[in-house]
Amino acid sequence: MNTRILLLLLTTLMTGIGHSNAAETRYQVKAIEDGDTLVVEMNGQPERVQLLGIDAPENTDNPKLVRDVQRTGLVEKQLLEIGNAAAAHLQQLVKPGDYIRIDDGKLRRDKYGRFIVIAFGAESRSLNQAMVEDGYAVVLGRYPLPESLKDGLKAAEVTAKRENRGLWGRYPETAGAWGG
């Protein structure tokens, strides 16, 4: 294999695991909705964006919180507490007024109308990866993800749990019941 093809292959693989590419655009953050959802300005309009491949606990009373209560056996107050902690951590990573980069060449919406994205903060760190690495989100297992993304997120989740990062250290029983 010649060097040029090898470099192209490596660049393609690296793009898939969170490095910038030509299709990325900067968007201003308007609000942090919860630990895995932001509101950004796109084309002069506020749009909700969901961080691809991750799930953070809910910080408001909504249908997913009700499902989480039923699934975990925890009370709303416990789940809202870890949800607020996750949202606060995302707000430490990126604040309203900051700009994030997302790959807008493949934008698609989920069933709730949110764009599903990999977002990058000012330091080019993937917010998706950071939330899992820091112990404030888990990997969504029910959605198909690129293998490189899924493998990186799963490894980060295992490490965060093992090292008691974030929710795993601050709220071990609640986080364990919520995120397994």
Tens of pLDDT, residue by residue over 78-109, are 999 999 999 999 999 999 999 999 987 778 99
Domain limits at 53? 22-179
Whether 72 maps to a domain, the answer reads yes
Q: Is the pLDDT of residue 113 over 60?
A: yes
Whether 173 maps to a domain, the answer reads yes
**Cα atoms in the Cβ-side hemisphere of radius 13 Å centred on 50:** 17
- Specify the pLDDT at position 180: 81
pLDDT in tens, 114-168: 999 999 998 888 999 999 999 999 999 777 888 888 999 999 999 999 999 999 9
Looking at residue 92, which CATH number applies to its domain?
Answer: 2.40.50.90
Mean pLDDT over 10-39 rounds to 70
Whether 10 maps to a domain, the answer reads no
Q: For the chain, how many structural domains are there in total?
A: 1
Whether 5 maps to a domain, the answer reads no
Whether 9 maps to a domain, the answer reads no
Whether 67 maps to a domain, the answer reads yes
Beta bridge partners, 137, equal none
DSSP-derived letter for residue 109 is B
